[in-house]
Structure 1
Amino acid sequence: MKNTKTALSRNAVIATLLAGTVAPVLLVPQESHAGAIADTLAAGTKDRVITRKVTLEELGIGTPLALGSTGAERDIYIPVPAGVELIDPTLNFEGRYLRADGGQTTYTLSVDDRMLLARSPTDDGGATDTSIGIDGAARDNGFVHLKVNWSSATGQYYCDDARPIGNMLEIEPDTYLEYGYAASAVKDISTAWSALPTEVTLLVSGSRLDKSSYDAAWRIGTALQRDGKTVRTIALPKVGDQIQTAALTVPPSLAGIPAFKSLAGGGEVQIASEAEIGALMLLDAPQFSADIAVADGAMAEQLKAALDAVSAEIVAADGAASAAVATIRQDFNALGQPVGSQTVGLRTLSGRPVIAVAPDAANAAVGLFDTLWRQSAVSGDLTLAAAAMPPGEGDAIALGALGKAPSRLDVVARGDWSTQFDLGTAAPGKVPSRLDLNVSAAPGATATLPVASVSINGYLLGAKQLKADGTPEQISVAIPAYTLLPRNVINVEFQRQPASDQCREVPQAYPAAVLPDSRVVFKDAPAADGFTTLVAKLAGDTEVAVPAAWLNDALETLPTVMSVADAAGIAPARAEFAVVDTATAPVPDKPFLFFDIAPEKGADRVSVTGDKITIDSARGERLFDAAGLSDVSVAEAELDQSQPGLYYRTVGAGADLGKPFSFGQGDVAIIGESGVLTALNASGNTVYAASGAPLDESNGSTLRLITSPKFWLEQAPWALTTLIIGGFLLLLLLAGLARRRNRDKRD
């Protein structure tokens, strides 16, 4: 096993060594500090080890995963930096088991097909908490594959008592993988992206931004949220800011330098100089813990000024420290060097890798971070003029072009396959209307045929009992508008009957597959009549506008723009950005998203005055009238304009939107910290109106009909009865005609 356990604690060892070697300088005259300061800085330029802790809850598993019945398994993929060796990776598995039905129960843990642990508990219940080291080898795919298996045998034979309800294993969301990796191992943008934590820290130059930097920040943040990340926006500290220093450790040799001395006392400190900002950088303060940065000119200037100031104080105290200072500036804080126009580059800040994006490269960077181009960014610097998805052609896109999910599954009782696509995948103005899914399954040992079920975003849209003869079969389902989200997940579930022949056989897995020629069929987007249909319009070319005042409070307003743009389905790379100085603005010639800017000649169904909200119906009836509200916002679908759009208004300080949310049904919504609190159709449109496209049965419909087992099972009795009655009537008619001929002959 390639665990290098001593490396994980390297930072702690360095800190201890520094403290031990330089502590005596406090007991001797000031001039003896010279060598100690240089040694301290030289030791600080050692390769930094970055630690990560990834819980299942951060991966979206918020409730325990239950494994029950006679046997079950669960595959969990935990992201790690792609192609980078892990230092001391440790799996902390937390859960509990129940064994009320008795019998033989066993659970196993394996990572990347290597068995880690097997247990056969005999108590009625207990905890499964365990901590175990795993292989630190680099994973080129960027995932640690954790597989949990559960088996429960309560009868004499394998298939006796096949559903014990009292025997189960639960995997807690607190289960986590903890690991470290060397910062120097991240050598290109692609690897840096794969190393991003679940909560990404986006660094901007200040709380006041110009238009280009603000524009870049919301685009990058929206793309990150669309990719499943949560975004925390921070700004470089400035002189006059109040900061907490309790978490900082100032080495004794540096405590005599003015910039460090003011930070050594702990507690809350007001930054008094640029040198103190530079000292915070060298001490790896939380204010500089960034993953992605909007690297504008202001950021480079501020970082350079801070490094210049602290370097001057260090060199004045110890001339021998000049070489170490130069190394720290060049290698450990490369973000202080200007980033070229249209450049996406890999930089460092306090020794940590940071993806630096020039403001004029943000649009292309959003496309680069998409899965199509991300793995191609095997460079530390890219001059990026464009990185876009190829436009959809025609009215259908093959699922094989949407993702890289494996198509084959080995199914015992149940197997799931999924992929995802954005609404903006197709041509502008198009929305999914139908899914033509081609699947195949091998025959099993039982006479019961397997069933394939199709769902989108959790909505079950169709199912079919398969022939399971290994040949392709098609399932066509309509996609109603209410199922659509900015990013849509298609899930196909295969279910088999695992029972064997009178307990003489052990159930085995049989292959099933989703074929790559399956396709999503698109149609022209219907007229917007609420949030769900508006999302389809906003997935193309749009205009996003904010008040000019929002740029002066970027740390407070950027999270709102990111979250709402994500929920509304805005495609960051296809949106224009505007800053408006007036309270109202003309409706643009494309779908729009306005923040605290009223579109001219709006419907006026919603009114916000101070802390008061009123909502009227389309007929003028007062639906809601309340004052005293705060920390909420109101979103209204503007449908009576030349272009549809979304008008977002804050009430008081507005909603603190730290988590992703979706609008769902309706055309007016009151939004709070947890997302949509109340939604309604003030326009009077019917909720969940029939909106799915009818299935196109023109292509091979007769063949599908006559080869469908369901058709013959349901229609054959009626057809047979009709044929018998028709045949009997025909015989009576023929007999009557024969008698008439005979009579005519005799006459």
Structure 2
Amino acid sequence: MSPPIRTMVLRLCHLPYPARFRRGLICAALALPLTAFAGVPGDAIRALEADTWLSRTVTLADLGFTAPVIMNHSDSRHEFYLPVPRNVPLADASIAFDSRYIKTEDGRTNLLLSVDGRPAFARRFENGEGEAARALAVERRARASGFVRLGVIWSSNTAQRLCEIDRPLGNALTIAPSTRLSYRYDAAALPTLEDAWVSLPANATILFAANRLDRAAFDAAWRIGVALENGGKRATMRAFPAPGDIIDTRELNVPAGLRQVPAFAALDASVQHRVGSEAELGALLVLGAPAVTADLAVVDAALQARLRSALDALAAQLQDDVDAARAFAAWRASRAPVAGTPLSAKQIQLTLLGGHPVIAIAPDAGAEAAGILSGLWRRTLDSRKVAVRAAMLPDQGEHSATSLSSLSNADSTLDVIARADWTASFPIGAAASDGRAPSELVVDVAAAPGASGSPPVVSVFWNDVLLAARQIEANGRPNRLLAQVPGYALNVRNVLRVSFQRQPVSVDCNETPQGYPVSVLPSSHLRSGAARTDGSFVSLLPLMAGRPQLIVPQSYLLDAGARLGQVVRLAAASGLSPYGAELVLAGKDQAARPTRPFLAMDVKLQGIEPKVRVPAQGHLQIDGREMRWLDVAGVAGLGAAEVIGGGGHDGILWQAMGAPAGSPGQPFVFNRGNVMVVGADGPRAWLDGASPDSDPSEAPGILQKLRRMAASHLLILGFGSCLAALLFFAYLANRAHRTKK
């Protein structure tokens, strides 16, 4: 059988279900001739090239639902948005709904599950408890929204009158965080860079050349990692392995036709494998092994050289087989093009590496990639290759204002029976930059008249801190709420919530309460003012969102594989801007002098004596005002962060107890106190020696207004006084003139 016919047959037989099912007879009929070539390396390589389908699983835990979701009201509804690649058909997609139920109260209790708004499963429960797990099929089609919606309705028909409050019941449904969506998709079908970014898994991997990096590659890698963390994903750093490294090969499946090739034979039937040659690295690339593939890659000359060396070594083992060599050359051109053609300056490209889609980023495009992939301009990435020379947030000047509608995708109009919330979630960088912080919140709302004579109540919360509340007139006209935003309410990720409450009316409890519309008007906005530092972590957030400095030792470049993860976690925790920050490298025993707000890691600062000291590995000291607060030795895996001043600028100094100890594995933020001890599971202890705002009402916005009002009033008063004096003197002169006459 000729190679083109074999390729056609292999592509046909690797089609996903149900197309694969419909063509089962054809594959079966052609299977006999192919068995003659089952041991041919060329056929095996062509089969790997033809199969571009990847398997993915996303759980509720990946989306942040780390605790079970409990539904225990008479009418509980929940909708989960499970991310999938946009505009790409899914294959073999299903949802495993893991849950348990308990029913103790009389009446009908029902569960209704829907997928993308369509009912998929319904069940009635009797008294007792047990499993409520179910597998739900997901339709094979492309989704422009980038989500599969899982709807859950848990309803209990109890003896309750319409006007009574919906109380928690003894009937409950518990949804496990392990509830998951599994699917396959064609990696070659992702149309644009934007689609590739939004389809990244919850734990995305960044690949770079080696543990030893130059400044440009290190700078690009940490910026991309912080952009991922800010987008709610976890960044995993991976250096391309070298001969002698130990890798996990449990998931590898070496085709029978390639087991006669030495590089592939060495990988077969092993669990933990020590890489013996460059050719084995090439074989790992052909097999799509996780150890050599990634979701994003910093493609510099060093990584391209590593890829070429591995593929050239494998090609040398195949050169005696003309058909295998030709098949490998075709695979190399389609599956590893990034190894051959260098990226141009500031370029970002969607390509394939070993069958996996990868966003390849030039080493000089780290800041631009972080800015455009995770920010306002991502929707412009409607191609597979771009050159980005700038991707900054707009600077609105001294009196900047940000519309609330630009911070939220929620509907601005809600029907309210008793209570409803309008929310906006945004990073601190969306409302603060260049030393400016959110200072004043202006919320314009309107409400239609309802059946109750009680006025609706509107409450405004910032990160669950109540900023303002008042009764409004329900006449359809705008009502304005003004609130100052105190520094202690800020966070790296902020949630603004406008809560509406109405008094529901049901005459004699015989009528169904009706909802009446309320709106958050487009004129609502957030004003920013000059950031004020008070020595706390939170007060530094607006400064870190502007143009700060990241100061690390030069030695970090020599151990990038271990250090980059630590840098990414701490930069994300401090709100460091991945596109506005400057990387500063401090030499050995060199004291750094910051010139901007900063995050410094394991370096000395010129002229600064920190309260926190790490005199030796596993030894932690924290000094107080007059005495030492903590002196403990023998601890491991910890690090300490401290707000500190250096060179006239405030920043954060991080000191790890050992290398690379203290790299937190769980996401967290510096949002409390001014000294924090951090372990692998997040903050362990913190101190609050900073002075909080004495009066939130004395925020810069109000003070500036009062000063401007006082200045204008003094000017008017002075002008009026001068005019009165002139009139008085004119009167006296006129009177004296008349007396002389």
Measured against the shorter chain, the TM-score band is 0.7 to 0.9
Give yes or no for contact 1:434–1:693 (8 Å, CA) kept in 2.
Answer: no
How many Å separate the matches in 1 of 2:409 and 2:189?
Answer: 26
Deviation of 1:497 (Å): 4.6
Q: Which residue of 2 aligns with 1:673?
A: 680
Q: Which residue of 1 aligns with 2:403?
A: 398
The correspondence of residues 70-469 of structure 1 with structure 2, limited to 5 A, is: 70-155=74-159, 157-159=161-163, 162-163=166-167, 165-316=169-320, 318-337=321-340, 338-393=342-397, 394-425=399-430, 426-469=432-475
Query: SS of the residue aligned with 1:400?
Result: helix
1:74-93 CA-to-partner distances (Å, cap 9, x unmatched) read 23222111111121221222
Q: Which residue of 2 aligns with 1:556?
A: 562
How many Å separate the matches in 2 of 1:596 and 1:589?
Answer: 18
How many Å separate the matches in 2 of 1:293 and 1:16?
Answer: 40
Query: Which of 513, 518, 521 is matched with 1:512 structurally?
Result: 518
Letter in 2 for 1:408: T
1:427-472 CA-to-partner distances (Å, cap 9, x unmatched) read 4111112221222333444455544332222333333344333333
Q: Which residue of 1 aligns with 2:733?
A: none
Q: Which residue of 2 aligns with 1:37?
A: 41
Q: Which residue of 1 aligns with 2:721?
A: none
Give yes or no for contact 2:253–2:268 (8 Å, CA) kept in 1.
Answer: yes
How many Å separate the matches in 2 of 1:8 and 1:386?
Answer: 46
Residues 1:686 and 2:691 are matched in the alignment? yes
Query: SS of the residue aligned with 2:380?
Result: coil
The correspondence of residues 595-674 of structure 1 with structure 2, limited to 5 A, is: 595-610=601-616, 611-617=618-624, 619-639=625-645, 641-653=647-659, 654-674=661-681
1:603-662 CA-to-partner distances (Å, cap 9, x unmatched) read 332221112221112x33111111112211111111364111111111023213222211
Q: Which residue of 2 aligns with 1:52?
A: 56
How many Å separate the matches in 2 of 1:407 and 1:437?
Answer: 12
How many Å separate the matches in 2 of 1:676 and 1:550?
Answer: 23
Query: SS of the residue aligned with 2:629?
Result: strand
Deviation of 1:146 (Å): 2.5
Greater shift in the superposed pair: 350-359 or 121-130: 121-130
Give yes or no for contact 1:343–1:382 (8 Å, CA) kept in 2.
Answer: yes
Letter in 1 for 2:92: D
Give yes or no for contact 1:480–1:693 (8 Å, CA) kept in 2.
Answer: no
Q: 1:424/1:60 Cα in 2 relative to 1: closer, same or farther (>3 Å)?
A: same
1:391-447 CA-to-partner distances (Å, cap 9, x unmatched) read 133242211233433323334444333223333334411111222122233344445
Query: Which of 561, 575, 579 is matched with 1:569 structurally?
Result: 575
How many Å separate the matches in 1 of 2:303 and 2:30?
Answer: 31
Give yes or no for contact 1:66–1:170 (8 Å, CA) kept in 2.
Answer: yes
What percent of counterpart residues are identical?
Answer: 37
Greater shift in the superposed pair: 252-261 or 263-272: 263-272
Give yes or no for contact 1:455–1:490 (8 Å, CA) kept in 2.
Answer: yes
Give yes or no for contact 1:433–1:693 (8 Å, CA) kept in 2.
Answer: no
Letter in 2 for 1:302: R
Query: SS of the residue aligned with 2:390?
Result: coil
How many Å separate the matches in 2 of 1:584 and 1:18?
Answer: 70
How many Å separate the matches in 2 of 1:688 and 1:699?
Answer: 17
Greater shift in the superposed pair: 660-669 or 147-156: 147-156
Q: 1:52/1:408 Cα in 2 relative to 1: closer, same or farther (>3 Å)?
A: farther
Superposed CA RMSD: 3.0
Give yes or no for contact 2:485–2:699 (8 Å, CA) kept in 1.
Answer: no
Q: 1:306/1:156 Cα in 2 relative to 1: closer, same or farther (>3 Å)?
A: closer
Letter in 1 for 2:523: D
Give yes or no for contact 1:635–1:668 (8 Å, CA) kept in 2.
Answer: yes
1:217-256 CA-to-partner distances (Å, cap 9, x unmatched) read 0011011101111111111111121223333221222111
Letter in 2 for 1:90: S
How many Å separate the matches in 1 of 2:507 and 2:121?
Answer: 32
1:170-194 CA-to-partner distances (Å, cap 9, x unmatched) read 3222221112211121122111011
Q: Which residue of 2 aligns with 1:737?
A: none
How many Å separate the matches in 2 of 1:16 and 1:260?
Answer: 28
Query: SS of the residue aligned with 2:105?
Result: coil
Query: SS of the residue aligned with 2:474?
Result: coil
Give yes or no for contact 1:78–1:144 (8 Å, CA) kept in 2.
Answer: yes
Q: Which residue of 1 aligns with 2:489?
A: 483
Deviation of 1:116 (Å): 2.0
Q: Which residue of 2 aligns with 1:470?
A: 476
Structure 2 length-normalised TM: 0.86
Structure 1 length-normalised TM: 0.86
1:496-534 CA-to-partner distances (Å, cap 9, x unmatched) read 455633333223443333222211121211134121112
Give yes or no for contact 1:441–1:513 (8 Å, CA) kept in 2.
Answer: yes
How many Å separate the matches in 1 of 2:457 and 2:696?
Answer: 26
Letter in 1 for 2:189: A
Deviation of 1:18 (Å): 13
Query: Which of 549, 554, 579 is matched with 1:543 structurally?
Result: 549
Q: 1:260/1:586 Cα in 2 relative to 1: closer, same or farther (>3 Å)?
A: closer
Q: 1:643/1:649 Cα in 2 relative to 1: closer, same or farther (>3 Å)?
A: same
Query: Which of 495, 506, 516 is matched with 1:500 structurally?
Result: 506
Give yes or no for contact 1:486–1:539 (8 Å, CA) kept in 2.
Answer: no
Letter in 2 for 1:398: S
Query: SS of the residue aligned with 1:348?
Result: strand
Q: 1:410/1:58 Cα in 2 relative to 1: closer, same or farther (>3 Å)?
A: farther
How many Å separate the matches in 2 of 1:19 and 1:634?
Answer: 63
Give yes or no for contact 2:458–2:501 (8 Å, CA) kept in 1.
Answer: yes
How many Å separate the matches in 2 of 1:551 and 1:20?
Answer: 55
Give unpaired runs (5+ residues) of structure 2: 1-14, 707-741
Deviation of 1:126 (Å): 3.2
Greater shift in the superposed pair: 73-82 or 591-600: 73-82
How many Å separate the matches in 1 of 2:29 and 2:248?
Answer: 25
Q: 1:17/1:514 Cα in 2 relative to 1: closer, same or farther (>3 Å)?
A: farther
How many Å separate the matches in 2 of 1:466 and 1:75?
Answer: 31
Q: 1:77/1:373 Cα in 2 relative to 1: closer, same or farther (>3 Å)?
A: same
